Amino acid sequence: MDRCPVSLTPREFAVLQLLLEARGRHVTHRDLVRTIWDEHMDPRTTAVRATISRLRGKLGGPDTITADTGLGYLLHGIPGPLR
């Protein structure tokens, strides 16, 4: 992956930060909704999937963030500090 700046929305940044803080562990859809959106939000919302999709596009493709059924989302291959 090239080391060039990527423009993220505040919500995209928050999702990326949570995935980075997980340090190789899965982050569940529910945890993303409760932490970044609103704990009262409909858990069937497509907002998380849409945000993850946009992040994948900005960070290098579909393999950057994987979705594992029953486990959650996992970030792959992003080196360096989050600023």
Position 80 confidence tier, pLDDT thresholds 50, 70, 90: low
- For the chain, how many structural domains are there in total? 1
Kindly state the tokens that stand for 22.
Answer: 């997980």
- 16: which residues sit within 8 A by CB, 6+ positions away? 8, 55, 59, 75, 78, 82
- Evaluate whether residue 52 is within a structural domain: yes
- Evaluate whether residue 15 is within a structural domain: yes
- Evaluate whether residue 83 is within a structural domain: no
Residue 51 is predicted with a pLDDT of 96
How confident is the model over 38-65, as pLDDT tens digits?
878 887 789 999 999 999 999 988 899 9
- Evaluate whether residue 80 is within a structural domain: no
Residue 81 is predicted with a pLDDT of 53
Range of the domain at 46: 10-75
How confident is the model over 15-33, as pLDDT tens digits?
999 999 998 899 999 899 9
Position 79 confidence tier, pLDDT thresholds 50, 70, 90: low
- Evaluate whether residue 18 is within a structural domain: yes
Q: What is the CATH number of the domain that holds 43?
A: 1.10.10.10
